[in-house]
Amino acid sequence: MRIIGSLLLVIVLLLIAYAGSGPAGLTPLFGIVIPYIAIGIFILGFLWKLLKWARSYVPFRIPTTGGQQRSFPWIKWSRLDNPATGTGVIGRMVLEIFLMRSLFRNTRSEIVGTKLVHGSSKWLWIGAMAFHWAFFIVLIRHMRLFIEPVPGYVHFLESLDGFFQIGHPRLMMTGVVLIGAGVYLFLRRWYIPQVRYISLPADYFPLFLIIAIATTGVIMRYFTKTDIVAVKTLLLSLMTFSPQIPEKEKIDTIFYIHLFLVSALLAYFPFSKLMHLGGIFMSPTRNMANNLRVKRHVNPWDYPVKVHHYEEYENEFRDKMKASGIPVEKE
């Protein structure tokens, strides 16, 4: 039901966009009003979440470690898995953000016969890397619709993406990879019983939504072949706060469906698990140096507390301790 419910919700969004921008003729609503509202929710929600995390107190060093801590010179120190300096933290963050290093080190455990066996598990890392990098490259490629003149690096990225020169217009490999990686991540979540058991609608819905966005984008590019000049005119008018809807003959319904799904993703983003995009930078388990053996960290919330030392305890209960046969330090 968690899978079916999430899928039905995406289908409902598709039908709303189709009915509203098609038969109902509400193209100004779906082409201007909803995108503006979605962008506003995204920006305000993103900033609110970051500020909320930034105000959270972290009095102690709590980095997640995966190697030997810095100590004596003759003990090999794991500079990236257990960084003790700011440089090490930066290196660790770069590898984590761009290469998902902790996921690369992921292992799987299973019972073989009567033994618990641990082994390498790289398929999840490959699928996640393909999904995230394809999504990122697709976003960069779409900058040509929002900027005039188009930056040279966007043209260069497009030439690499369409390197195989398949079809006309050229087949962009990232679109295929994005859909394929999304389907793989869903099938993995559905096929593995342990992962399916802990999966929630909040895990399925954004995955289905991103797959739907990529699919409608592929349909626009290779099948309906939407007028890209009219699309860019609309998006540039939105960017300059002078919105104007092109003629209906130039932009068909599939574009407004695509735009509505993107708007839904933007509005949903700050309140979902997708906020790990910003959360990775605010995570104290990743952005802190483990220098506990170099510097003493005192909890600022500590306050004077009356303590009962052992010597005082023994002075108070010495007779009872001796009568019970408990050894004492002083007779």
Give the pLDDT confidence score for residue 21 in this predicted structure.
86
Q: Let me know if domain 2-303 sits in CATH 3.40.50.2000.
A: no
Give the pLDDT confidence score for residue 249 in this predicted structure.
66
For the chain, helix, strand, coil in percent to 5 are 65, 5, 35
**Domain residue limits, the chain:** 2-303
Cβ 278 vs Cβ 284: under 8 Å: no
Give the pLDDT confidence score for residue 59 in this predicted structure.
79
Residue 42: name the closest of 207, 277, 287 by CA: 277
- Answering whether pTM is above 0.75, one says yes
Give the pLDDT confidence score for residue 184 in this predicted structure.
96
CB-CB neighbours of 204 under 10 Å = 21
Residue 237: name the closest of 35, 40, 25, 18 by CA: 35
Q: pLDDT averaged over consecutive 10-residue blocks of the chain (331 residues)?
A: 93 94 87 95 96 87 88 90 92 94 85 83 92 95 90 90 80 92 95 91 95 94 86 91 82 92 96 93 91 83 84 90 88 77
Give the pLDDT confidence score for residue 52 in this predicted structure.
93
Alpha carbons 277 and 139: distance in angstroms, whole number: 14
Give the pLDDT confidence score for residue 250 in this predicted structure.
76
Give the pLDDT confidence score for residue 244 in this predicted structure.
87
Give the pLDDT confidence score for residue 42 in this predicted structure.
97
**Residue where the block lists tokens 């839904």:** 264
Give the pLDDT confidence score for residue 114 in this predicted structure.
85
Give the pLDDT confidence score for residue 119 in this predicted structure.
80
75: exposed, middle or buried (C-beta count within 10 Å: 0-12, 13-18, 19+)?
exposed
Residue 269: name the closest of 189, 206, 188 by CA: 206
CB-CB neighbours of 273 under 10 Å = 12
